Chains A and B, each alone.
Chain A
Amino acid sequence: MSDEVEIRGVRDMPAMAMSLGLMTYNKTGSWRNMTPVLDPEKCNGCMLCWKFCPDVCVSADDPPVIDYDYCKGCGVCANECPVDAIEMIEGATPPSGRAEAPEPAATP
């Protein structure tokens, strides 16, 4: 008898297994009804938008890049920006790709 366990789906997993995948498949960008748009000209690189993003979708680059696949459009970045470089625009672009749970792979 072999000790190896073959995992084909969620049902085959051991009862005490740790998580086998990240929630990043869940493109929360589809929740958005206001879209933040950053003006790189006005940006002063204070990184407050990166610091206060609840969805970790603003990169720590200069100027920051907003990941619209995950942005829920809460508007915290536009409210916190000291130089008003981020504007909230009505409407949303749908996130790229379909939000579908992948089959659990091996432990990351």
Chain B
Amino acid sequence: MAEKKEKKKKLTVPEEELMYSGHLACQGCGATIAMRYALKALGPKTSFAIPACCWSVIDGPFPYTSLGIPIFHTAFETAAVMASGLKAGFDIMGKTDVTSVAWGGDGGTTDIGIQALSGAAERNDDILYICYDNEAYMNTGVQRSSQTPWGAWTTTTPARHFKKLPKKNMVDIMAAHGIPYIATSAMAFPEDIVKKVSKAKDIKGCKYVQILASCPPGWKMVPEKSIEVIRLAVNTRIWPMLEIEEGVYNITRKPRKEIPVADYLKLQGRFRHLTEDQVNEIQEIVNFNWQRLRWLEESTQEMKEKYGRATLSVPAG
């Protein structure tokens, strides 16, 4: 029993909860776990701007909430600009210790909200944009988004006409803005989420974090595999864990063993229609992307050593 007590103290993430039971998420929802750990890192001095996305429903009907922080529900395309406005308001009121966060799904971030996000990144407003990426418009019933990967089924790309375009490279789009901090994380790695979000919180300027979150109904899989599938996404290298600090790429998790991407695909019903050749094609895309990232990592680190910086823009002080 004494040994057990020792172990309990070794909780690798903060124990304080800012997300409460009773929310309206589906069984095994990945977005809730992403939110739970992001909030553990951010703490209570945080304000959220949430556009139309799963989380605007999960949170509960007005006037009830399942989060212990103030939330501003915004229009679909305005999450980033709302967070910028809230931050400006807090600054005027002298509340400089409040973190202004925009929390959107992949549709509200990479399709509909990209102009507001791009504007906030260009102005380098002091906000943190967190995108939880479940790879389609899950809230409205699984429609294709620009983050839907090649080969996936959605209701607008049915199995016979599955999506034949790759996932939009949002991380590089944000990197092109020259903002101080960009990261990708996955909800099966809570320590990683806490580390990256708390790091982003302490940096001044526009920060972007994209967290891969599973969606059991939309990915057509059993809810209990919700965590396992995300762990496989990282270990099969289809979802690389990255950090880009002022243009310098850093792959934070390099799986030692090469696991075929088929292991990840076969857990999900949305890839069931794929033939063996098509699975090999996905494997080739994954291998190429990984090589490209390794090359970017090397070259940007070299650039940083040589020239002192690796991005076009000058980071804000």
Do A21 and B63 form a contact, CB below 8 Å, given A54-B32, A78-B224? yes
Which stretch of B22-30, B146-154, B252-260 is in the interface? B22-30
Identify the closest chain A residue to B70 (Cβ): A18
- Selected contact of B27 from candidates A10, A20, A23, A31, CB within 8 Å: A31
| Chain B residues in 8 Å Cβ range of A96 | none
Please count the residue pairs between chain A and chain B whose beta carbons lie under 8 angstroms apart in the complex: 124
CB-based contact B64/A23 at 8 Å: yes
| Chain A residues in 8 Å Cβ range of B17 | 56
Instruction: Give B1-42 as 1s and 0s: 1 = Cβ < 8 Å from A's Cβ atoms.
Output: 000110110011101010111111101111011001000000
Bound CA–CA A22/B29 (angstroms): 20
CB-based contact B28/A44 at 8 Å: no
Identify the closest chain B residue to A72 (Cβ): B27
Identify the closest chain A residue to B60 (Cβ): A23
Bound CA–CA A21/B32 (angstroms): 19
Bound CA–CA A46/B266 (angstroms): 29
CB-based contact B33/A54 at 8 Å: yes
The answer to whether B287 has its CB under 8 Å from any CB of chain A is no
The answer to whether B71 has its CB under 8 Å from any CB of chain A is yes
Identify the closest chain B residue to A101 (Cβ): B64
Bound CA–CA A19/B4 (angstroms): 40
CB-based contact B227/A20 at 8 Å: no
| Interface size of B in residues (CB-CB distance below 8 Å) | 42
CB-based contact B24/A26 at 8 Å: yes
Instruction: Give A8-22 as 1s and 0s: 1 = Cβ < 8 Å from B's Cβ atoms.
Output: 001001000111111
| Chain B residues in 8 Å Cβ range of A78 | 224
| Chain B residues in 8 Å Cβ range of A76 | 28, 223-224, 226-227
The answer to whether A60 has its CB under 8 Å from any CB of chain B is yes
Instruction: Give A57-89 as 1s and 0s: 1 = Cβ < 8 Å from B's Cβ atoms.
Output: 100111100010110111110111000000010
Please list the residues of chain A having a beta carbon within 8 angstroms of any beta carbon in chain B.
10, 13, 17-28, 31, 44-47, 51-52, 54-57, 60-63, 67, 69-70, 72-76, 78-80, 88, 101, 104
Q: Which 6 A-B pairs have the closest CB atoms?
A: A75-B224, A19-B65, A70-B21, A74-B28, A74-B27, A23-B22
